[in-house]
Amino acid sequence: MPEHTGYTGKSLEFLKSNDVAVGDSVKAIGELTYSGIIMPRYEHTDDQHIVLKLNSGYNIGLEIEKITKIEKLTSTEKISENVDDLKENPSLPKILLLSTGGTIASKVDYRTGAVTPILTASELNSSVPELSEIANIDTEVLFSEYSENIMPDHWLQIARKLNDVAKSDYTGIIIAHGTDTMHYTSSFLSFALAGYPIPIALVGSQRSSDRASSDAALNLIGATKFLVGCKTNGVFVVMHNDESDNTIACHYGTRVRKNHTSKRSAFQTIGDNPAYIIYEDKIQKNTKDEFFKNKKFNPKINLDTKVALVKYYPGYDSKLLDEILDMGYKAIIFEGTGLGHIGKTMYDSVKRANEKGVFLGMTSQCIDGRTRMTVYESGRDLLNLGIIPLEDMIPEVALVKTMWALGNSQDIEEAKKIILENIASELSK
């Protein structure tokens, strides 16, 4: 890490003149005295402050004009961690942990404040030692991306890696993933790898591992217990069930979405309870669905991103829909109002889309419930214009499924049949 990351102007000169840098442990003396580690600063911040990480783990900003003296206690020289090599326990099952980014499989370097990926089984064990009592963990970093930067090409990369180890001796696979788009990734894997012979758990963390309320370790432990003891297969999102530390929820990868920006229990199964709940060492099964056990594994790892997700709102300009059609999109998933409606100002553009052979699917903006387009006249008009109701499929899931269906079919009619088939429990009974 550069020795003065984020510092400019007066604050940079202050650090240089006092021969201290990011990662140094210092004592700052002024009206009050603080001891801590100099942290890097965010981009685009002022040049009037330095930031210290205190022993409590909290960060504090200090105005440089009020610091009368700063003393260096220790420097940033690299301190190698004494992490013993792990010996595999032959009596325990094997789990593969694939890291794609996020904080769930990362650690905080308190010398610099940087969050770095855990690369080895030894580092993982030192960070979450409880894991070594549950399973032997192999680790691999596929890539390190914030979840908002994970694209469909990344889904393909993950799926191909999983396909490569489908016949391995692993009991299950954990995918460490950022939370913001985790349900998109879980949806694609559910379709592309339907019938995968062992369970797959996507695990994230809402709170970073340097916070006392972090859910990183608990989610990881819960996921490992689930994979070892669940006796099932399929793709799951494994996160906190509530704000306590007692229960971890395991959601089907096509029936879950993130419903809160910061709560540890942000992920919820839509329209039902989580498929499984982990409480201490017990696994509570809430689903009677044996759907995945009867699936033959036949990986289909392709997609076509020419699919648009259109959220209708009063005042939506139908010219936007025309632009989508002119760009060559092959399918449009509508997030309609209520039971599945869009305004009549859209009808001409919808008719044009249907005449061009574009697949038109309808989902609802409502969090729960099913589309039912036969109840009102407007819904029946839309049915007549070629829009197909997608029952209670979550809009994001419908988007991903349509991308996948287009990538694995010869024409739009074949894709339509795939979209309407219940592949991975994306349609509830």
DSSP designation for 237: E
Whether 94 contacts 135, CB under 8 Å: yes
Q: Would you state the structure tokens that stand for residue 56, as one six-digit string?
A: 């409590």
Q: Tell me how far apart the alpha carbons of residues 89 and 186 are, in angstroms, rounded to a whole number.
A: 30
The residue from 53, 258, 330, 401 that is catalytic is: 258
The residue from 76, 100, 103, 185 that is catalytic is: 103
33 is catalytic: no
Q: Would you state the structure tokens that stand for residue 392, as one six-digit string?
A: 């209670």
103 is catalytic: yes
179 is catalytic: yes
One-letter amino acid of 8: T
Q: Tell me how far apart the alpha carbons of residues 52 and 65 are, in angstroms, rounded to a whole number.
A: 15
CB burial readout 152-180, b (16+ within 10 A) else e:
bebbbbbbeebeeeeeeebbbbbbbbbbb
Helix or strand (DSSP H, E) at 160: helix 152-164
Q: Tell me how far apart the alpha carbons of residues 389 and 342 are, in angstroms, rounded to a whole number.
A: 12
Cβ-based neighbour number of residue 357 at 10 Å:
11
The residue from 47, 180, 289, 322 that is catalytic is: 180
Q: Tell me how far apart the alpha carbons of residues 38 and 33 are, in angstroms, rounded to a whole number.
A: 14
Q: Would you state the structure tokens that stand for residue 424, as one six-digit string?
A: 């991975």
The residue from 100, 112, 171, 179 that is catalytic is: 179
72 is catalytic: no
Mapping DSSP to helix (H, G, I), strand (E, B) and coil, where does residue 396 land? helix
The size of the chain, in residues, is: 429
**Mind telling me the catalytic residues?**
103, 179-180, 258
